[in-house]
Structures are given as structure tokens and as C-alpha cells.
């Protein structure tokens, strides 16, 4: 990973990747058009919001997705996956975001990237399971919602040749659709990464009540979960997570880009059709210009997304810079078009029934996931400007002394 | 999806890099402005004209033009030359109107004779061009032209008033839009290649910009005679010809550097400014708000660079004009945002005009900020750019 490597000119998005992306777009627009999505997840607010039922999803569609091999997109061919470029995966995830597909695909891809970074026999077996259709999710976030790999949510103790996990992992994405979790835990001075089946003894998943209608999220309570050696993925969890992090940011950014482009196109279509003052409202520049600005922001995010994906594929050490740029741009672009989409639709956009809120909320969720724009830029500044100086001598203007 | 470079392009790139390394220009006799449209003094002009001539002789300018029009007969090499010139940080090419507006327009609309006569001087920089489109009553509404051209045998007689004419004070030629018929707003326009310097009836008067410097001009035409041989394309076709010019002008921003190395160096400049500026007892580089603001600029810079790359991967572009038509808007607002941030970081020091001996970096930041409005207004204001993007790319109803 240290040799000078170059990013391919087409970001690694060649004919195969284009074909896969186009196929994903066709399939999802056929199987999950807006009215179907609305019926599926947003028929009525009471079940999810009042009763706290988990967001429904189309398990039939999911089994077709598994049959297409999407769970194995980030798994090597040796382990039974398709091993396409990360830009190619980003292209498919954009379609997933565009159609706001409720599914465990993205958490499973995230788990794959972490397992790849871990390497080794245990990780290899889990990757093969994923390529075969198993689903997974990450349990790496603590109660404070910290995005630092060292802030592991769990405590591990060695007991009779096994590890025992205690603690609460928060914000576990699509936990109720996952077969197993990849959990990070502090073990003395080190960090371990373990695979835990979601039906393991001592593990209780508690559904969060969330706004987003296209996923579930859980707090995972570990109350003495035993993990055998055969399920310890890595004894250097922090390094593994740090190595995988840029890829995780790319996946969320891709989802954001796809959903944002959908909101843009939906609003543009509405602005061409809705007539007020004898003109389609898209004639008015207070409508037209913000839509152009949203397009510019989305395009910036998309270009940075493929750039980050290509850098990660090429094993460039500084890929973190590109990935944080992509997540910052994607989060901010999403915030902007989500806002304008509702506003420029007027009253209809504010209704539950119309359904704009589905993508809006998915974006809002993803904007926060793994850190919003401000968080990414704070990390970027440490990389590009250098850490804030802590030396007491630098804290004061030399001219003052 | 052909994004790989051809053999000719690769060889050309290597040659360009080597040549630029071995032929670094001597230091300028006086400080150069940021862009060609701010060249004011004869000293700057002579230096820059000599540099363009040298680049032209070396094949780095006019690379893709046919040999019979003074070009070097390559394909797809000018982009590479521009990239290398940007990267090498050499001075800009002074004849911007000739290169990015007059020559491409003449190539497309000119007679064989016009192409042979006018294009070589555009490329070599020996003949500086200016653009006579804008008038007091015709800015964004460009077709609202008043300057008249009336036929008189083999000649045309021109009367009128052009404004904001960049480089008019050094120009040998002007690309000129005139009204030849009052009956039709768009089909009553005719395009000329009009002599300026020393030509009877032409008067060039400098205008002073908000920076206190001159830079552009107004040009008055009083019974100016132009031979019919200098008419470009047919009578009444001026609007279509002008559109060719505007398209080349806006597409030229890649060459002008908005997509490439300039972006990175702008961020480096902001970071080093922040590292050397104390504010309220703290280094600006340690201030979280300033750090966030610089990172926002860095993200835009990288975004523009990657947009330029993505524009060459058709599978990743939904609409072929979607990224190219953004360049003028994003490039000019990028520069403006950087300059404004530089002013903010420099704080009290940015109150100093360039004449003040204590002005940091010769007063660069506030001057760059003031000057940046030239780019957000010229070449179609950014509001007009937003109209174009909304209408041509998003398909929203036309403003006009
Ligand atoms: C530094 C500089 C160099 C220039 N060099 C040249 C040159 O060499 N040759 C040349 O011919 N011209 C040149 N120009 C002129 C330039 O092209 C015009 O200034 C520009 O097209 C705007 O026209 P205007 O100044 O008349 O402003 P106006 O058209 O009067 O615009 C005033 C304001 O109204 C807005 N506006 C106008 N119409 C619309 C609309 N339909 N929708 C939304 N907003 C609108 C504009 O965006 C602007 O904010 C130069 C300008 C500058 C600043």
C-alpha cells in the first residue's frame, strides 16, 4: 500500500461497471417505482411512528438481489464474490439511494469492506458467507455517536479461552435484517473485532424509533455474549476500521448522491408542470437558480465520490482525504436539495402522501451517518493544514510579548 | 469511452513538459496581473507577447490548428499543452480573445482567405484581438445591438459605441457584432473583423475598474469604413456567429486554468496565509471556523478537478453538456470565494492597498477579491449562466 500508485483515468468505471449500474437502475425502477415504494414504506405513519414497528421491506425483491450477487460485490472472486471496482459498487449504491431501497445491502457492503481490511481466515470465511447471501452490519458506534475507531462501544474480557462482550452498541443499521454483526470492543489496551450472530445468546436488539422509513436501526445490547476464537476477526480493530473507513464513507456518499439526484429530477419535473401566474414555476429564477445550484453541488459530490473510490482501489495512502471530501460534499448537497425539494413543491411537498419525505429522511439519516460535512472538514483540516497547535507558545501572538 | 491518451498525445505531453522546464521565462520586468484582461502597461504587454510567441514557435499554442492556418496540426494536444503550462506555473497567454474567441469563430465561419489571413496572428499573439459585443444597452441582452453597419459599395460604414472592451487599448483587431437591419432583433445582426489600432474613426477610451486600475475600455465608431472582405459569414447571420464565439469563450476556462493546477495553488496560498496571520492572539490556522472555511474551498477545488476528469467519462455523465456548462460558473465563484476568504483571514491587513509598503503580498487578497467580480460578470453573468444551465441541461422553461 505504500508504493506510488495511480488512479485510472475512468475511475475504474469501465464497460462492466456501466452495464451493472444500468441493470440496477432498470431493475429498481421497474420493481420499486415511486408508488410502490410509497405503498411499501409510507402507507400510514401510525405503524412506524406510533407503534414503533420496523420499516417493512420487500423480501422477494431482496432474494432476487441476492441471486444477482449484489451481496458479494465487495468480496473477492476467490471467496465467491464478484470483486468489481469500488467506483462500480458506488454506481450501484447510487441506484439503491435513488430508489430509496429498503434493504441490508449497504450495511452488508460495509461489513465486507471491514472484513477485507481485516483479512485472515476468519474474515475470509465470513466474506464467503456474505457472497453466498448472508447479511451483516457494523456494531462499532458508542452511546455518544462517536466516529472514532478507538471509541469502541463494547468491553471484552477473556474468560476460559473465549471472549465475553458487554455493553451497548448504538446506531446499528438494518440490524433486524442482518444475520451477523461485526462488533468492536475494547480488550484491555487493545481493540478486537468480533463476528456475532444476531440470534446469539446474550445479545438483545432493541429497535430505535427513527424518522427514516427505508431502514431499521437498533441499539444492540451485549450482555455476556461469548465469542470463540473462530469468530475473532481482528485483534487490531482500530487499524482495521481506520483502513476501511474511506470505503464506508464512499458507500454512504453514493447513497446520498443517488437520492439527491432523484430529488433534483423530481423537483425539476414538478417545476416544468406546475403552473402559477400563467407560467410553469420553473420559469421563475427563484425556482430555477437554486435547482441549478443543487445540480452543481450534486455533480461536485459525484465527481469526488468516484475519485475517492478510485483512490481507495488504487491503494493510495491519502484516500482518506478524497473520501472525506466526498462525504462532506455529498452531505451538504443532500441537505441543500432536500430542503429545496420540499420548499419548491409548495404545500403538496409537505404532505405525507406525496412521499418526498421518504428521500428527504433517508438523506437526513445518511448526512449524519459517519459524520456530517462539518465533521469531515474538521478531520480534513487535520490532514491538510495539520493539527491545531497545542504548544502554549503558539497560543499567543509573539507581537504581544 | 476513450479516455486513454493517444501515442501522439503522450509524446506531446512529454515534449511539452521538457520544453517548459528548459525554457522557463525570465522574470517579468514588472508585476503581472492575474488574468490577461487586466494587462495595462506596455512593459507587461511586450513581455507577454514575446512569451506567447515563444510558446507558439515551440508548438504549445495552436497545437490543434491545421498547418495552413499557422497551427501545428495535432489532434487533442492543446488540452495537454494547457495542462502542462498550468502545471509549470508559467505566465498566461496574453491574446486570450484571439485564441479562445476569434480564432475558433473564424475557423468555423471564415472564408479560406480569412482563415489564412487572421488565424496565424491570433495564435502567435503578434496581433492582439478584442471583443466588441457589449454596448451600453446590450449586456446580458446581447442581441439588443445598436451599433450600425451600413453597406456602401465594397465597404461598410460603422457607427456606434461598444463598452467593457478588454484589451481594446492594445488591440489590432476586434470581433464586432453590428446591427444591419432593424426589422429583426436576432436576424438583423452581422459580424465583422474590424481593424482597431490606428484605424480612422475608431476611438478607444480606457475605463477605470473598482480596483482603481484601468483594464477595459469603451470604443467609439464614427463613420468607420470596413471592407466587405472583413465580414464574417453572411449578412444577418451575426447572432449565430456570436454564439460560436460565446461557446468557445465559456469552454475556454479549462485552458484559462480554472480546472487545473491553479485550484491547488490557491488552497496552498490560503493555508500559508492562515499559518502566518495572527488574529486576536491566535494563529488563523488554529481557528476552527477558518479551518472549516479553507476546507470548503479545498473541496470545491478538488471537485472542479474531478469534474473535468469525469466529463471525459461519458458513462458517468447523464447529459453531455451538464459538466462543461458549469465551468464558467464554478470557476469564477471559486476564485471569488477564495479571494473573499483571503481577505477575511488577512483581517486588518487587507485594508491596505497595493501602494502601501506594508501591504502583505503586495495587497494581493483585497485586489483579487475586487477583481473577481470581473469574472462573475464577464462572459455572460453568472445569473445568465444559471439560466443557461437550468434551460439547456435541466430543461426548465426559458426566461426570454
Ligand atoms: C471585466 C470585464 C471584462 C469584459 N470584457 C468584455 C469584452 O472584452 N467585450 C465585451 O463585449 N464585453 C465585455 N464585458 C461585458 C460583459 O459581457 C457584460 O458586462 C455582461 O454581459 C453583463 O452585461 P451588463 O454589464 O450590461 O449587465 P446587465 O445585463 O445590465 O445585468 C445587470 C444585472 O442583471 C442581471 N440580469 C440581466 N438579465 C438577466 C436575466 N435574464 N436573468 C437574471 N438576471 C439577469 C445580471 O446578471 C446582472 O447581475 C466585460 C465585462 C467585465 C466585467
Residue A55: predicted pLDDT: 87
Does the beta carbon of B139 sit less than 6 angstroms from any atom of ligand 1? yes
Q: Which three cell numbers stand for residue B60?
A: 504549445
Which residue of A296, A303, A328 is in closest CB contact with B310? A303
Catalytic residues of B: 249
Position B279 confidence tier, pLDDT thresholds 50, 70, 90: confident
**Do B199 and B156 reside in the same domain of the chain?**
yes
**Do B90 and B18 reside in the same domain of the chain?**
yes
Does the beta carbon of B164 sit less than 6 angstroms from any atom of ligand 1? yes
- What is the full per-residue pLDDT of chain A (401 aa) written as tens digits? 334 567 788 999 999 999 999 999 999 999 999 999 999 999 988 988 888 888 899 999 999 999 999 999 999 999 999 989 999 999 999 999 999 999 999 999 999 999 999 999 999 999 999 999 999 999 999 999 999 999 999 999 999 989 999 999 999 999 999 999 999 999 999 999 999 999 999 999 999 999 999 999 999 999 999 999 999 999 999 999 999 999 999 999 999 999 999 999 999 999 999 999 999 999 999 999 999 999 999 999 999 999 999 999 999 988 999 999 999 999 999 999 999 999 999 999 999 999 999 999 999 999 999 999 999 999 999 999 999 986 545 545 555 54
**Do B18 and B120 reside in the same domain of the chain?**
yes
Residue B195: predicted pLDDT: 98
Position B27 confidence tier, pLDDT thresholds 50, 70, 90: very high
For helices B261-276 and B78-88, what crossing angle results, to 10°?
20
What is the complex's ipTM, to 2 decimals? 0.95
**Do B317 and B226 reside in the same domain of the chain?**
no
Residue A397: predicted pLDDT: 53
**Do B267 and B389 reside in the same domain of the chain?**
yes
Does the beta carbon of B387 sit less than 6 angstroms from any atom of ligand 1? yes
**Do B104 and B142 reside in the same domain of the chain?**
no
Of B126, B150, B177, the last residue of a domain is B126
Q: Name which of B265, B304, B306, B313 to mutate to probe chain A: the one with the most chain A Cβ atoms within 10 A of its Cβ.
A: B306
**Do B281 and B366 reside in the same domain of the chain?**
yes
> Does some domain include residue B219?
yes
B16: domain range?
7-126
Distance in Å, alpha carbon of A139 to nearest chain B alpha carbon: 30
**Do B20 and B60 reside in the same domain of the chain?**
yes
Residue B259: predicted pLDDT: 33
Matching residue, cell 487499524: A239
Residue B261: predicted pLDDT: 42
Residue of A nearest to B325 (CA): A296
Residue B138: predicted pLDDT: 97
> Does some domain include residue B166?
yes
Q: Name which of A275, A276, A303, A390 to mutate to probe chain B: the one with the most chain B Cβ atoms within 10 A of its Cβ.
A: A303
**Do B71 and B166 reside in the same domain of the chain?**
no
- CA B372 / ligand 1 centre spacing (Å): 14
Looking at the structure of chain B, the number of domains it has is: 3
> Does some domain include residue B289?
yes
Whether pLDDT at B121 is above 90 = yes
The domains found in chain A, sorted by start residue, are 15-106+125-134 (1.10.540.10), 138-237 (2.40.110.10), 238-385 (1.20.140.10)
**Do B143 and B71 reside in the same domain of the chain?**
no
> Does some domain include residue B68?
yes
Alpha-carbon gap, residue A25 to A141, rounded angstroms:
32
Q: With contacts defined as CB-CB under 8 Å, which chain B residues touch A400?
A: 281
Which residue of A272, A304, A381 is in closest CB contact with B302? A304
Alpha-carbon gap, residue B330 to B303, rounded angstroms:
10
- Return the CATH number at B143: 2.40.110.10
Look at B295 and A377 and tell me if their CB atoms are within 8 Å. Answer: yes
> Does some domain include residue B283?
yes
Residue A354: predicted pLDDT: 95
Q: With contacts defined as CB-CB under 8 Å, which chain B residues touch A91?
A: 316
Distance in Å, alpha carbon of A198 to nearest chain B alpha carbon: 38
Look at B303 and A300 and tell me if their CB atoms are within 8 Å. Answer: yes
**Do B58 and B142 reside in the same domain of the chain?**
no
Alpha-carbon gap, residue B20 to B9, rounded angstroms:
16
Q: Which three-class secondary structure string do you get for chain A?
A: CCCCCCCCCCCCCCHHHHHHHHHHHHHHHHHCCHHHHHHHHCCCHHHHHHCCCCCCCCHHHHHHHHHCCHHHCCCCHHHCCCCCCHHHHHHHHHHHHHCCCCCCHHHHHHHHHHHHHHCCHHHHHHHHHHHCCCCEEEECCCCCCCCCCCCCCEEEEEECCEEEEEEEEEEEECHHHCCEEEEEEEECCEEEEEEEECCCCCEEEEECCCCCCCCCEEEEEEEEEEECHHHEEECCHHHHHHHHHHHHHHHHHHHHHHHHHHHHHHHHHHHHHCEECCEEHHHCHHHHHHHHHHHHHHHHHHHHHHHHHHHHHCCCCCHHHHHHHHHHHHHHHHHHHHHHHHHHHHHHHHCCCCCHHHHHHHHHHHHHCCCCHHHHHHHHHHHHCCCCCCCCCCCCCHHHC
Residue of A nearest to B305 (CA): A303
Of B237, B271, B306, the last residue of a domain is B237
Stretch B161-177: mean pLDDT: 97
Alpha-carbon gap, residue A322 to A328, rounded angstroms:
10
Of B109, B126, B143, the last residue of a domain is B126
> Does some domain include residue B114?
yes
> Does some domain include residue B43?
yes
Residue B214: predicted pLDDT: 83
Q: With contacts defined as CB-CB under 8 Å, which chain A residues touch B268?
A: none
> Does some domain include residue B338?
yes
Look at A400 and B281 and tell me if their CB atoms are within 8 Å. Answer: yes
- Return the CATH number at B386: 1.20.140.10
Q: Does pTM surpass 0.90?
A: yes
Residue A398: predicted pLDDT: 54
Alpha-carbon gap, residue A3 to B83, rounded angstroms:
25
Stretch B293-320: mean pLDDT: 96
Alpha-carbon gap, residue A10 to A8, rounded angstroms:
6
Taking alpha carbons only, the member of A205, A206, A200 closest to residue A231 is: A200
**Do B141 and B104 reside in the same domain of the chain?**
no
Q: Which three cell numbers stand for residue A227?
A: 465469542
Exposed / middle / buried, residue A4 (Cβ in 10 Å: 0-12, 13-18, 19+): exposed
Amino acid at each position: 500500500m505504500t508504493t506510488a500508485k495511480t488512479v485510472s483515468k475512468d475511475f475504474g468505471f469501465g464497460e462492466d461497471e456501466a452495464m451493472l449500474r444500468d441493470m440496477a437502475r432498470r431493475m429498481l425502477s421497474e420493481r420499486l417505482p415511486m408508488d410502490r415504494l410509497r405503498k411499501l414504506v409510507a402507507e400510514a405513519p401510525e405503524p412506524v411512528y406510533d407503534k414503533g414497528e420496523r420499516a417493512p421491506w420487500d423480501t422477494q425483491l431482496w432474494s432476487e438481489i441476492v441471486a444477482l450477487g449484489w451481496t458479494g460485490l465487495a468480496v473477492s472472486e476467490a471467496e465467491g464474490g464478484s470483486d468489481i471496482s469500488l467506483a462500480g459498487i458506488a454506481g450501484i449504491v447510487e441506484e439503491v439511494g435513488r430508489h430509496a431501497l429498503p434493504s441490508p445491502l449497504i450495511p452488508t457492503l460495509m461489513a465486507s469492506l471491514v472484513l477485507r481490511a481485516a483479512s485472515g481466515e476468519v474474515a475470509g470465511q465470513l466474506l464467503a458467507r456474505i457472497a453466498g447471501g448472508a447479511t451483516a452490519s457494523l456494531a462499532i458506534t458508542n452511546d455518544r455517536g462517536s466516529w472514532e475507531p478507538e471509541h469502541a462501544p463494547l468491553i471484552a474480557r477473556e474468560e476460559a479461552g473465549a471472549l465475553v462482550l458487554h455493553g451497548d452498541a448504538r446506531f446499528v443499521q438494518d440490524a433486524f435484517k442482518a444475520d451477523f454483526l461485526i462488533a468492536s470492543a475494547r480488550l484491555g489496551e487493545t481493540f478486537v473485532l468480533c463476528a456475532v450472530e444476531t440470534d446469539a445468546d446474550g445479545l438483545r436488539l432493541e429497535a430505535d424509533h427513527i424518522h427514516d422509513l427505508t431502514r431499521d436501526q437498533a441499539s444492540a445490547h451485549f450482555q455476556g455474549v461469548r465469542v470463540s476464537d473462530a469468530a475473532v476477526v481482528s485483534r487490531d480493530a482500530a487499524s482495521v476500521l481506520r483502513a476501511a473507513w474511506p470505503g464506508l464513507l464512499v458507500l454512504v456518499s453514493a447513497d446520498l448522491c443517488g437520492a439527491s439526484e432523484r430529488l433534483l429530477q423530481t423537483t425539476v419535473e414538478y417545476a416544468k408542470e406546475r403552473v402559477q401566474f400563467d407560467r410553469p414555476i420553473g420559469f421563475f429564477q427563484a425556482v430555477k437558480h437554486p435547482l441549478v445550484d443543487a445540480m452543481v453541488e450534486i455533480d461536485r459530490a459525484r465527481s469526488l465520490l468516484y475519485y475517492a473510490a478510485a483512490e481507495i482501489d488504487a491503494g493510495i495512502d491519502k484516500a482518506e482525504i478524497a473520501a472525506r471530501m466526498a462525504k462532506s460534499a455529498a452531505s451538504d448537497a443532500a441537505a441543500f436539495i432536500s430542503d429545496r425539494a420540499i420548499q419548491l413543491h409548495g404545500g403538496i411537498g409537505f404532505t405525507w402522501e406525496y412521499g418526498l419525505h421518504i428521500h428527504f429522511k433517508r438523506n437526513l439519516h445518511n448526512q449524519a451517518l459517519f459524520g456530517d460535512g462539518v465533521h469531515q472538514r474538521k478531520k480534513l483540516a487535520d490532514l491538510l493544514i495539520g493539527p491545531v497547535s497545542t504548544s502554549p507558545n503558539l497560543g499567543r501572538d509573539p507581537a504581544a510579548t | 469511452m476513450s479516455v486513454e491518451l493517444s501515442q501522439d498525445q503522450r509524446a506531446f505531453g512529454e515534449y511539452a513538459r521538457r520544453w517548459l522546464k528548459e525554457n522557463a521565462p525570465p522574470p517579468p520586468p514588472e508585476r503581472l496581473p492575474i488574468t490577461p484582461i487586466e494587462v495595462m502597461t506596455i512593459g507587461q504587454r511586450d513581455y507577454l507577447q514575446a512569451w506567447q510567441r515563444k510558446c507558439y514557435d515551440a508548438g504549445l499554442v495552436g497545437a490543434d490548428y491545421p498547418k495552413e492556418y499557422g497551427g501545428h496540426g495535432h489532434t487533442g494536444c492543446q488540452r495537454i499543452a494547457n495542462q502542462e503550462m498550468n502545471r509549470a506555473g508559467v505566465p498566461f497567454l496574453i491574446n486570450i480573445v484571439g485564441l479562445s474567441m476569434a480564432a475558433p469563430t473564424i475557423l468555423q465561419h471564415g472564408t479560406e482567405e480569412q482563415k489564412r489571413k487572421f488565424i496565424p496572428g491570433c495564435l502567435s499573439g503578434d496581433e492582439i484581438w478584442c471583443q466588441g459585443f457589449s454596448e451600453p444597452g446590450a449586456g446580458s441582452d446581447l442581441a439588443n445591438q445598436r451599433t450600425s453597419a451600413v453597406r456602401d459599395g465594397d465597404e461598410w460604414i460603422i457607427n456606434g459605441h461598444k463598452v467593457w472592451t478588454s484589451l481594446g487599448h492594445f488591440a489590432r483587431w476586434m470581433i464586432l457584432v453590428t446591427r444591419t437591419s432593424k426589422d429583426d432583433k436576432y436576424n438583423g445582426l452581422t459580424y465583422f473583423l474590424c481593424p482597431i489600432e490606428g484605424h480612422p474613426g475608431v476611438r478607444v477610451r480606457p475605463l477605470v475598474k473598482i480596483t482603481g486600475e484601468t483594464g477595459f475600455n469603451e470604443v467609439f465608431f464614427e463613420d468607420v469604413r470596413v471592407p466587405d472582405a472583413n465580414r464574417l459569414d453572411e449578412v444577418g447571420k451575426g447572432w449565430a456567429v456570436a454564439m460560436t464565439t460565446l461557446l468557445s469563450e465559456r469552454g475556454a476556462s479549462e485552458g484559462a486554468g480554472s480546472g487545473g493546477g491553479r485550484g491547488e495553488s490557491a488552497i496552498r496560498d490560503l493555508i500559508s496565509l492562515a499559518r502566518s496571520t495572527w488574529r486576536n492572539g491566535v494563529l488563523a490556522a488554529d481557528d476552527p471556523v477558518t479551518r472549516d472555511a479553507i476546507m470548503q474551498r479545498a473541496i470545491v477545488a478538488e471537485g472542479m478537478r474531478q469534474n473535468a476528469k469525469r466529463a471525459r467519462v461519458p458513462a458517468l455523465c447523464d447529459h453531455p453538456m451538464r459538466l462543461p456548462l458549469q465551468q464558467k460558473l464554478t470557476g469564477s465563484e471559486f476564485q471569488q470565494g477564495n479571494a473573499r476568504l483571503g481577505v477575511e483571514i488577512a483581517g486588518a491587513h487587507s485594508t491596505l492597498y497595493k501602494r502601501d509598503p506594508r501591504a502583505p503580498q503586495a495587497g494581493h487578497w483585497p485586489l483579487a477579491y475586487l477583481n473577481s467580480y470581473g469574472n462573475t460578470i464577464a462572459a455572460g453573468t453568472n445569473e445568465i449562466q444559471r439560466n443557461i444551465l437550468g434551460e439547456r441541461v435541466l430543461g426548465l422553461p426559458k426566461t426570454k
